[in-house]
Amino acid sequence: MGSDLCKEYPVANNVYRKAGEALGYDIAELSFHDPEEKLHKTRYTQPALLTHSIASLEAFRDMTDDCLQPVMAAGHSLGEYSALVAANVLSFESALKLVQKRGELMGTHGEGEMTAFPMDMESIRPIAERHHCAVAGCNLPQQTVIGGRSEDLEMVEQEVLEQFARKRPVRLKTEGAFHTYYMVKAAQEYRPVLERAVFEQSDIQVLSNFTGGYHQSDPDDIRARLFFQLFHPVLWHANLQTALADGINMIYEFGGGIGTGTEPEEKRPNLEGMIKKILRTSEFDAQYQSAINNLSLKNAVEFVLDNDA
């Protein structure tokens, strides 16, 4: 992850260098090779994803002479911190320190697992709560994520399959039931870390996973919403609806990547499927580009330069 960008773009190398200095370990070695197989642990996953997102963004800015200025930024879960950096609300170094501690606490106090269901939140919620599980995210009108103990999730999955034969659940690889009550202890210990962080004023609006709307400009409001985000559902669908209703007509996704392939070019964007599904099923008209590896970055830059010309 990110190795192809660093081979070609000095600005991406610089991002990884800064990240290593802030974190106190070689984030490039971890991200590119992962010799000790640590990357799947959330205390390392979160700084690695943040670094890759900002490296992708900075390479894009450099290649386009920073000709595009965003009016808003958004991210899913950990991605909300990347959005705050992109909007100049948080410095990159401050965000790294925050997500390093956030990931450590989530991993330490995490319990349980997560399952995605192709169902609306109101249909799955009562089944989940009957088995002591909780809604962890609403990604789409028909995609809800539930968190709970493994044995409790199994009961939810079984009941869903019995009642809705075509609604097949997908168990997710996580260290805990993130964004549910299982994260309350992590949030309590994270609160003083948030209180020490510096949040700046910005003209770029940032969307909050906790509310589905925009962060307020007051740093105390931002801290509170990031605190609550840890143990409340990620309202990603509401974030997209808010952005599109306010007239967004171009969406760029930076960093990350999913898929079974091991090389950067084999990955596909994390949020593309959700974004495009919303655009297909709504009255809103917007375009989408991603920059998560060398190929997609070049395509996104070419799109900008062609339209600018």
pLDDT of 190 reads 98
Band (308; pLDDT cuts 50, 70, 90): low
Same-domain status, 155 and 245? no
Same-domain status, 9 and 31? yes
Same-domain status, 101 and 32? yes
Residue type, 234: V
Rg (alpha carbons) of the chain, rounded to whole number: 19
CA distance 199 to 218: 8
pLDDT, tens only, 98-116: 999 999 999 999 899 999 9
Report the pLDDT averaged over residues 39-48: 94
pLDDT of 112 reads 93
Q: What is the CATH number of the domain that holds 274?
A: 3.40.366.10
Report the pLDDT averaged over residues 256-275: 91
CA distance 150 to 175: 11
pLDDT of 225 reads 98
Does residue 157 carry a pLDDT above 70?
A: yes
More confident residue, 262 or 136: 136
Same-domain status, 200 and 291? yes
pLDDT, tens only, 133-149: 999 999 999 999 999 99
Report the pLDDT averaged over residues 34-42: 91
148 touches 128 (CB < 8 A): yes
Q: What is the pTM of this model?
A: 0.95
| Total of domains in the chain | 2
Beta-carbon contacts of 9 under 8 Å, excluding residues fewer than 6 positions away, are: 59, 62, 63
Which residue segment(s) compose the domain that 258 sits in? 3-109+180-308
Residue type, 102: R
pLDDT of 55 reads 98
144 touches 133 (CB < 8 A): no
Alpha helices in 38-91 (DSSP H): 42-63, 79-86
Residue type, 178: F
pLDDT of 281 reads 87
Report the pLDDT averaged over residues 3-22: 97
| Domain boundary, last residue among 128, 151, 172 | 172
Mean pLDDT across the chain: 95
